[in-house]
Structure 1
């Protein structure tokens, strides 16, 4: 009797497949696999195969020499990783068993997962078997069985496989050639600067070096920043004609400049609401004395403002929020998200999408219904089920098949509630974060009442703005954290953190309610300018990246490109992928190029990191530019969708590596 063989990426996933197939592992467990009379379930342990180092091509290449560079093999070699050779042999043996008729490829549904299996398949030289690719978004029983039922021939994923092999070859060629060439050229120089006896090895990578450059560049901007002092003016106003009314119902309004003023020159001003010199600010205030002075309400604008729920979480957004809220690094967030996925609580974590697919939107009621068993938010889930938005979510901004490549956004499955009780407290918090974000998209927008009052006194304008939350809408379930320190203050002018506020949903703290005085104001009403006050401030330098904002900056690297045509061409391209970005930061910290403050998650370059950046800037400057890295990543997506061939991509890559390596060799110190 023929059997179906299922091969997953790791043992824990194999267990989920076994359960979905109604296999009792305790009775069917073998060494490295599970077997019944119908099925065999086995697993990799991550990568079982890797690319061979140059010395495996030729022992003489073990020594780093300029005359062996550039190193670009005509045929790339691969080898089984020694530490997992036993499992490879087990998997390879199963793949070749005569009673195995169909192989179901169940590695992670993405480029890297495809690569893991294809390497095994290549090294095991599998032939004469039917191979089907299982593509799933969660590890629930229903989704696994659907994936098996709808599995497609693996040949339909050949382009994705080609992109995976191209990505690996790209990282290999750039890493080996540029690292060796730069070390040979500059290693001793760096050692002298660092006071080291041994030659300093310079590690270079397509993504890693670009990220290092972004962190160093931000640090240089902070060091070269020249602060500007400024002086803002506030007026204190009160209604009424008589002086006795001045003590009651007063309010502040901020000075706003006007082109017609005779009290100052445009060059005296800081933006449109302050002065660059203290004496000018004092002179301006004195021009209104003695107090009180007459004033009049020039205009009153009242309007409602709606704020929609933010889009769903992808991995980058989740990593950013966890860095900000829980002070954990992106690798820790990814590990938590992976655990939640493997325990069936959430969908596949390594996704760039922030929307649902139309197919999932049609069945979304199942996810919500399951959350009624999740005690902390059960009431909200029950309430959502009564909303019409559940049925209309498929036609909303939260569903868009065009914005999904491999997987839709991270959402709760509505299952696995027993597992929740055994999770660590931090993991429970992250799960709640995902559930709250998910439920919030079914709620109506938050509605604010805004009131803007413009006042004129002695020909000068003053403005006061107020904002009051009238209808909480989605904020009811979202529990938006209002952190004034993150939102900044009016006295600071900063470039801000890269990548924050992707949905325009910065935590803005509205007032509890409008003051009675403001509510009673009418256009043309006379007021008294009671007094004036000066408030000193200074501009702030750009903020350093945190681990979270760096992940977002990497995801949105295409936006950093100045050339409009190129930016449009690689729109949506980022540095690295959702599966690799966290690891890049971890590696940079491990090799001593950056430092991560574990309490604040702030990233800073080390002296070594800055020296490496200087070396790269002088030799292969393009590696520091987001456009190069993003364009390479876009090229890989073109290979994956069949727009270009693997050979076209490799020809371009090899030309770049050969040209730049030779340029380093010929550089004069």
Structure 2
């Protein structure tokens, strides 16, 4: 007589419930668990009685203000700031049924395994379900944490053998919770405040403010205005055309002395053509004495494997892909094709044990990407460079190909491009260092100092994978200190100062990840060099697209330009809101919280104080910068649902916060 697995479980096996972040991950987990299996309502039941279920991104979201007080449904300034005493989450309507499935399964389960994505948001996404379903403290303390960054069976099996205690990740969850609630408070209150004030100036549109989106918009507005106000100025270089006794020719550039400072700008460029002409005339036909001849060998290891931002930047430069398009391609490569590892990683290192999988990954690359087949053959899988570093790997590692080969015809054009970049970057780790020689010559001509530099490749190493690579300077002749050369003539080269370049997806992403460069506070800048920057790997693409969707940024080819509404919004805000200093400091505080070095209550208390100050400041004046500006995004009227809530870019994950406060 055949026994039903569920009945058999009751006799012999305690039920273990795996809760994945999304169905694709759940299927990958179930694939390596005991057979036979059957599909249930919102779950997969395994042969040993264990069950695998899933969320569909966030099953819960922050309640809207009117959930706390019906009066808040109307946007009125006297209600601000809205700060909940007891925070509320509510089920997302479209996935309410899956929450009901989990409610039943959690009660049945003897052991629960948290299998959210291996990042801050993934940790909170499943933890908040446990809290909402009121899982008992006893059962909650026993919850295990499964960290999966590769959906292929062998990787999932290894991950299952290394489950950890979920309580280890409480700080990560608390940090994500603080981020979610801070976003809600900041976005809801400042968006309402500015939108209401905008109406007084005749702007009948939504004025969305967010802790990340607004400083990002501010970066673009500032850059656009720098370009528009830029006045090009001429400057001049003096070059000496030199001849060695052996008949070799090269050029060296004049380095002005301190005596010339009054004719230079802040960057040391000569602004007087008369001065430059005088120097050029004096050196023609004169002796050039070699004062220094330095030849320095150097080497550079392969660039590290990609994290998401680095991949988005390179894909934008190489193919003109938007940050969102890259994230979408990554998500498909990870979930649908299982061709790459977890894509939202902020890490560029790999665990030591992963080195042993290199031959299998190489075979998959060779079968999937014909253009890299020869590169695979030349790779040395015995090399173990700086990329393999356990101390640098936390919840997830760098984005690399998996051991699963995917026929190129199954991939879209964007997926092929992104896979090719990921595969090439991984292959570089198995190639020698790029070796080169730097030469610098310092010469004295008529008491003036002239310098010539060049860099020559000795061994291409990993650079062979880049094709032609950058153009190298002409090799300088071999001369020694004390050699006397001839300056055949001097030449004045006319140049013009150039305006800053407008932002593209690549350069804006680089600015967000390297936000310290745009921060005015020296102490904060030092802190930010060690943190993730503005936004997270998962949210940056979505923030850029949100600003475009709301009409604050406009795409012009590859460039991103601020609109009239975007500029009016930035001008209507206090400077500290539109600058990255404050929001970048939040990122630093949230990161400290995740590392058990910061406290939730202190962070939220400080936020409440600054929020009240900002609401008072915005209410004290009418934003004249918005008068006469056409609006495209309309504010919500009474009873009208807000459109345009942001979701976790490229996936089904929606952020756990108010739709009106996105970004």
Instruction: Please confirm whether the aligned pair reaches a TM-score higher than 0.5, indicating the same fold.
Output: yes
State the match for 1:497 in structure 2: none
CA distance in 1, matches of 2:516, 2:292: 42
State the match for 1:87 in structure 2: 98
Aligned residue among 164, 167, 171 for 1:152: 164
Task: Give per-residue Cα distances to partners, 1:456-497, cap 9 Å, x unaligned.
Answer: 444434333232212111212344743xxxxxxxxxxxxxxx
State the match for 2:121 in structure 1: 112
- Secondary structure of the residue that 1:233 maps to in structure 2? strand
The answer as to whether partners of 2:171 and 2:595 remain within 8 angstroms in 1 is: yes
Task: Give per-residue Cα distances to partners, 1:425-472, cap 9 Å, x unaligned.
Answer: 332222221222222233222122233334444443433323221211
State the match for 1:6 in structure 2: 18
State the match for 2:500 in structure 1: 542
Q: 1:608 to 1:239 in 2, by over 3 A?
A: same
Q: What count of residue pairs does the alignment treat as equivalent?
A: 604
- Secondary structure of the residue that 2:317 maps to in structure 1? helix
Q: 1:269 to 1:145 in 2, by over 3 A?
A: same
CA distance in 2, matches of 1:405, 1:84: 31
CA distance in 2, matches of 1:659, 1:293: 69
The answer as to whether partners of 1:256 and 1:273 remain within 8 angstroms in 2 is: no
State the match for 2:544 in structure 1: 585
TM-score, structure 2 as length reference: 0.83
Task: Give per-residue Cα distances to partners, 1:573-599, cap 9 Å, x unaligned.
Answer: 3211111111111111111111123x3
Aligned runs of 1:282-361 on 2, under 5 Å?
282-288=277-283, 292-342=285-335, 343-361=337-355
CA distance in 1, matches of 2:119, 2:269: 53
How much does 1:382 deviate?
4.5
The answer as to whether partners of 2:339 and 2:406 remain within 8 angstroms in 1 is: no
The answer as to whether partners of 2:463 and 2:469 remain within 8 angstroms in 1 is: no
TM-score, structure 1 as length reference: 0.83
How much does 1:258 deviate?
4.0
CA distance in 1, matches of 2:168, 2:277: 74
State the match for 2:81 in structure 1: 70
- Secondary structure of the residue that 1:346 maps to in structure 2? coil
How much does 1:611 deviate?
0.7
Aligned runs of 1:193-204 on 2, under 5 Å?
199-204=204-209
Higher relative contact order (Cα pairs below 8 Å, separated by 6+ residues) = 2
Aligned residue among 127, 130, 135 for 2:147: 135
CA distance in 2, matches of 1:169, 1:454: 59
- Range moving further from structure 2, 63-72 or 82-91: 82-91
Q: 1:276 to 1:333 in 2, by over 3 A?
A: same
The answer as to whether partners of 1:160 and 1:640 remain within 8 angstroms in 2 is: yes
State the match for 2:627 in structure 1: none
State the match for 2:274 in structure 1: 279
How much does 1:77 deviate?
1.7
Aligned runs of 1:560-599 on 2, under 5 Å?
560-573=518-531, 574-597=533-556, 599=557
CA distance in 2, matches of 1:62, 1:324: 45
How much does 1:229 deviate?
0.6
Q: 1:372 to 1:283 in 2, by over 3 A?
A: closer
Aligned runs of 1:241-252 on 2, under 5 Å?
249-252=248-251
Q: 1:270 to 1:464 in 2, by over 3 A?
A: farther
How much does 1:364 deviate?
5.2
State the match for 2:643 in structure 1: none
- Secondary structure of the residue that 1:21 maps to in structure 2? coil
Aligned residue among 563, 583, 587 for 1:606: 563
State the match for 1:409 in structure 2: 398
The answer as to whether partners of 2:554 and 2:563 remain within 8 angstroms in 1 is: yes
CA distance in 2, matches of 1:431, 1:367: 13
CA distance in 2, matches of 1:44, 1:149: 23
The answer as to whether partners of 2:21 and 2:116 remain within 8 angstroms in 1 is: yes
- Secondary structure of the residue that 1:474 maps to in structure 2? helix
State the match for 1:236 in structure 2: 241
- Secondary structure of the residue that 2:100 maps to in structure 1? helix
Q: 1:334 to 1:412 in 2, by over 3 A?
A: same
Unaligned runs of at least 5 residues, structure 2: 1-8, 624-663
- Secondary structure of the residue that 1:95 maps to in structure 2? helix
The answer as to whether partners of 2:521 and 2:581 remain within 8 angstroms in 1 is: no
How much does 1:615 deviate?
1.0
CA distance in 2, matches of 1:95, 1:444: 52
State the match for 2:491 in structure 1: 533
- Range moving further from structure 2, 316-325 or 562-571: 562-571
The answer as to whether partners of 1:358 and 1:399 remain within 8 angstroms in 2 is: yes
How much does 1:159 deviate?
2.4
The answer as to whether partners of 2:364 and 2:406 remain within 8 angstroms in 1 is: no
Task: Give per-residue Cα distances to partners, 1:10-39, cap 9 Å, x unaligned.
Answer: 222222222222657xx7334433334423
Report the aligned-residue RMSD: 2.9
Task: Give yes or no for the alignment of 1:188 onto 2:209.
Answer: no
State the match for 1:487 in structure 2: none
